[in-house]
């Protein structure tokens, strides 16, 4: 007769299982082993012991450069420096031991290294400040002595007729200087550009904070000799918006193709939004017979004989942009001849010597 095992509650069974079960480490969320259980696969060996680093990091200073001054050199130094300066030179050189120079001193081998250590008797054009060479019938020997001298050169005092470079830089607007660096033009060339504001109106931006008002400006810029650009600006203040539009117009200046440096090549058309602009070339003396917006564009670009039509919308902003795109989209005769595999020859110059008008 079999005896049934004694009845035990569920909590007692769980306690016995927990006590008898072996303790395991906490489960990791990734497949790799924990950091404490990792072991390096190879011993820690430095790169210098493996021979990966060169022992000599550069050419050391030669012993020929580390030698005391001779009596002749001291006499030459005494002619150029005062006794106090010589004492400071000797004290500075004795403060650094020769052994440290041999072991730690390294001569630079890069292209920008200085070709001398303590010879400051010559003027280096890249490192030193430029010195003004004496003029007015000076001999070549005097110029050579002047360049070898170590005395500081005193700059001439600025006069009223010729202001100094510092005064010119201070009087120029920093925005103009930055624009000059971006475009490559001098401030004088920028001041001679023809700049005109064509469109300005108030715009409102609806936000969750309310209506934010600002002023919009569309400006053109050109040198009246084949360069033209348009720029837009928007700001809360009138002056800031105008300046922003002017700067953008000067930055966006591009060359405009001109036939005989007076008109365009044939007929071109461009469309921006609902505005369409049609430009046509005309004979010499015809003039610019078009609306005032396109007239100002042609005048800034140096175009003298032009006819224009705007058959559709006459929105000022779109008309200006469409006219600019039409001027940039001209098809040159050289490109047409090259595409057709032909050679272009100016018959008027060959048969009439260019005199046809």
pLDDT tens-digit profile of 57-77? 445 555 556 677 888 988 988
CA dihedral defined by 182, 184, 185, 190, rounded to 10 degrees? -10
Name the 3-class secondary structure at 262: coil
pLDDT tens per residue, the chain (357 residues)?
Answer: 555 566 667 677 766 655 555 555 555 555 555 555 566 666 666 666 666 655 554 455 555 566 778 889 889 889 989 999 988 888 888 887 777 766 666 666 666 666 655 556 666 666 666 555 555 555 555 555 555 544 444 545 544 455 555 555 545 688 888 898 888 888 889 999 999 999 999 999 999 999 999 999 999 999 999 999 999 999 999 999 999 999 999 999 999 999 989 999 999 999 999 999 999 999 999 999 999 999 999 999 999 999 999 999 999 999 999 999 999 999 998 888 889 988 887 776 666 665 554
Contact status, residue 194 vs residue 223, Cβ threshold 8 Å = yes
Q: Name, in order, each residue with C-beta under 8 angstroms of 264's C-beta and a sequence gap of 6 or more.
A: 257, 258, 279, 280, 281, 303, 306, 327, 330
The topology under which CATH files domain 176-255 is: Double Stranded RNA Binding Domain (3.30.160)
The correct CATH number of 256-333 out of 3.30.230.10, 3.90.550.10, 3.10.20.600, 3.40.190.80 is: 3.30.230.10
Spell 293-321 as b/e; 16+ CB within 10 A means b.
Answer: bbbbbbbbbbbbbbbbebeeeebbbbbbb
Identify the H or E element spanning 227: strand 227-235
Name the 3-class secondary structure at 192: coil
Domain with CATH 3.30.230.10 in the chain: 256-333
CA dihedral defined by 290, 291, 296, 298, rounded to 10 degrees? -20
Q: How far apart are CA 303 and CA 297, in angstroms?
A: 9
pLDDT tens-digit series, residues 169-223: 545 688 888 898 888 888 889 999 999 999 999 999 999 999 999 999 999 999 9
The residue with tokens 């072996």 is 22
Q: Hey, which residues does 289 pair with through a beta bridge?
A: 307
Q: Name, in order, each residue with C-beta under 8 angstroms of 250's C-beta and a sequence gap of 6 or more.
A: 179, 183, 190, 193, 195, 221, 229, 231
Q: How far apart are CA 64 and CA 68, in angstroms?
A: 10
Question: Which pLDDT value is given to residue 295?
Answer: 96
Q: How far apart are CA 66 and CA 22, in angstroms?
A: 75
Domain with CATH 3.30.160.20 in the chain: 176-255
Contact status, residue 233 vs residue 248, Cβ threshold 8 Å = yes
């Amino acid at each position: 007769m079999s005896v049934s095992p004694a009845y035990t509650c569920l909590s007692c069974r769980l306690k016995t299982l927990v006590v008898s079960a072996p303790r395991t480490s906490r489960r990791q969320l990734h497949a790799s082993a924990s950091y404490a259980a990792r072991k390096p696969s190879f011993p820690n060996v430095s790169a210098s012991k493996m021979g990966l680093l060169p022992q000599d990091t550069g050419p050391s200073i030669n012993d020929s450069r580390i030698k005391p001054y001779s009596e002749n050199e001291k006499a030459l130094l005494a002619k150029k420096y005062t006794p106090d300066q010589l004492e400071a030179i000797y004290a500075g050189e004795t403060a650094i031991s020769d052994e440290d120079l041999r072991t730690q001193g390294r001569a630079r081998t890069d292209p920008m290294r200085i070709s001398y250590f303590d010879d400051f008797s010559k003027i280096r054009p890249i490192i030193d400040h430029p010195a003004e060479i004496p003029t007015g019938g000076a001999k070549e020997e005097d110029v050579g002595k002047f360049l070898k001298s170590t005395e500081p050169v005193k700059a001439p005092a600025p006069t009223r007729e010729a202001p100094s470079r510092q005064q010119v830089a201070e009087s120029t607007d920093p925005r103009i200087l930055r624009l000059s660096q971006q475009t490559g033009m001098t401030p004088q060339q920028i001041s001679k550009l023809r700049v005109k504001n064509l469109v300005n109106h108030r715009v409102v931006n609806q936000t969750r904070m309310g209506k934010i008002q600002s002023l919009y400006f569309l400006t053109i810029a050109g040198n009246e000799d084949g360069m033209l650009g348009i720029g837009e600006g928007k700001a809360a203040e009138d002056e800031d918006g105008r300046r922003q539009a002017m700067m953008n117009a000067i930055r966006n200046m591009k060359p405009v193709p001109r036939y005989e440096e007076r008109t365009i090549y044939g007929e071109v058309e461009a469309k921006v939004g609902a505005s369409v602009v049609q430009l046509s070339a005309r004979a010499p003396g015809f003039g610019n017979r078009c609306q005032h917006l396109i007239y100002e564009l042609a005048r800034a670009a140096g175009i003298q004989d032009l006819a224009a039509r705007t058959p559709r919308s006459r929105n000022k902003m779109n008309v200006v942009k469409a006219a600019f795109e039409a001027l940039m989209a001209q098809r040159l005769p050289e490109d047409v001849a090259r595409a057709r595999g032909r050679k272009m020859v100016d018959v008027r110059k060959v048969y009439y010597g260019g005199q046809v008008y």
